[in-house]
Amino acid sequence: MRRWLDPALRQAPGWLLLAGVLSSCAPVLNLQADRPVSYASEATRDSPLKSRLAPLIPAGASGFHLLGGGQAALAARLGLAQRATHTLDVQYYLFHNDTTGKWVSAALLAAADRGVRVRVLIDDIDTADKELRLATLDVHPNIEVRLFNPFHTRSANLLVMGWQALRDSVRLNRRMHNKAFIADNQLGITGGRNIGDEYFGAHHDMAFLDLDVLAAGAIVDALSQSFDQYWNSIAAVPASALPVETGKARLQRATQYLNQFRTEQLDSAYGRTLTAADPLPGLLTGEIAWQIAEASLVVDPPDKVLNPDEATSNLLIGQLAGLGLNPRQRALIVSPYFVPGATGMAYFEYWRSQGVQVDVLTNAYAASDVPLVHAGYANYRIPLLAAGVSLHELKPLAEPTGGRLRDIGRSTSRASLHAKTFVFDDAHVFIGTFNFDPRSTRLNTEMGLVIHSPELARQVTAMIERAMRPERSYEPRLVSEPGKKGEMIHRLQWHDIHRSQPRVLDVEPETSAVQRALLRVLQALPIEEQL
């Protein structure tokens, strides 16, 4: 057996040797599978959606509606699938096979059965146990599924996946984080949400604070063009290349199951809540007003995952800089994974020197789902506070404030921030997938809309400021004290309101001594560029 092992592997530690052997035995993608080029429906093509929107959105203009609540966000996606007559283009980083994942899959199948062409593009980071499901969807004559930047060796074994990640680290460390749901090139949704229960208020234990935006009009064509770029990229491999056996019989069984599942869910308490939260009926009749505004799509090129040397000017961060959105009064930054780095610190220090108020909302350690990234953020807390930046860390469980905890789900669920947005000068709003960290900047592909609308800015600011209230978030503050040798020593205190009373904490809130020790270890790791 050793004759076909990589020479370097022969000298590897035992676990690497085992991983290499397992990898050599695992099935692989058929990279020669056909990849027909296709494009979005022409924006000028007639459709019921276009007719309904024509009197509501001026020609050549764009309209927007915020999707803050999870139920409204899911209902809007299902509504787009139900109303599409020509095309559905769906692009996500994660697409779970849970309640909402099944519901969306059922909606896509129903659209395909009506003759709608459905294209589904999923990043391959979390598809190892979903291959048969994806390949079965792909059997439908009106559905095509592609995997972005896939693992060539197919296995759910962590050793095999780890071995591939080591051997092809430059490519596989770069993921497609984009999120879009587009119907007939007339309506599109983008923002922070993947497809999964925790994003839509359907998870019993976890509820994400998240934000999407529903777009109509001219800007949707830009969303579709971006989707086409990714779809036709060399990094997008068809699901037909997967080494799994499926067919029409399995598709028929899956369709029957999902249709029955959808019927049962519609009759559930969650389903009835979903129906009531759907904003599309009001938006398509004019009962709910669209916010008409100018906007720009900023999006990384798909080649970012293949070319580590892609010019910064071509990336999302370069496009943002080109828009000249320098705040003059206030910058409100929301990022669940917040690691500003030297460049971010330079921006914040400059803004503060110009008198700009800078407020940041991120996750508390106890609320974060990625402690390693929180460690990267923790290294910057004292410098940020010293520069005059105000920090707010979302609690994992918010206390009652006399009103419903909007957009975070049940108050008994563990809350975690997942929205990625910022507001400049109460006039310009970014809503998208971009986290303020090195991974979003240099490694993953990201996208977002920059919308020039004081009204949307007001709405987003109100959502954020509710989340920053001391009942819902901790506010770290800097305490400076003289040391034994006369030098100034800086430490942190966390301020909040607990059981209706102000409170001050001297250690990371809601953490154990072991967790705090782990955080100190993680802070020392030299891996910031990977966070």
Residues annotated as catalytic (active site), given as ranges: 177, 179, 184, 418, 420, 425
* Residue 214 φ then ψ, to 5°: -95, 125
| Residues 128, 27 contacting (CB under 8 angstroms) | no
Token pair recorded at residue 336: 């669940």
| Residues 81, 111 contacting (CB under 8 angstroms) | yes
| Residues 121, 231 contacting (CB under 8 angstroms) | yes
Whole-number Å distance between alpha carbons of 188 and 290: 14
Q: Is 28 helix (H, G, I), strand (E, B) or coil?
A: strand
Residue 515's H or E segment, with its range, is helix 513-524
Whole-number Å distance between alpha carbons of 447 and 221: 14
Residue 128's H or E segment, with its range, is none
Classify the C-alpha dihedral 299-303-307-310 as positive or negative: negative
Which residues 6+ apart lie within 8 Å of 49 measured at CB? Answer: 83, 84, 85, 183, 184, 186, 187, 284
Whole-number Å distance between alpha carbons of 435 and 370: 13
Strand partners, 357: 330
Q: Is 123 helix (H, G, I), strand (E, B) or coil?
A: strand
Whole-number Å distance between alpha carbons of 368 and 363: 5
Strand partners, 394: 363, 473
Whole-number Å distance between alpha carbons of 333 and 467: 13
| Residues 152, 164 contacting (CB under 8 angstroms) | yes
Per residue, what are the HEC states of 375-399? HHHHCCHHHHHHCCCEEEEECCCCC
Distances (CA, A) of 239 to 68, 150, 170, 432: 33, 10, 23, 27
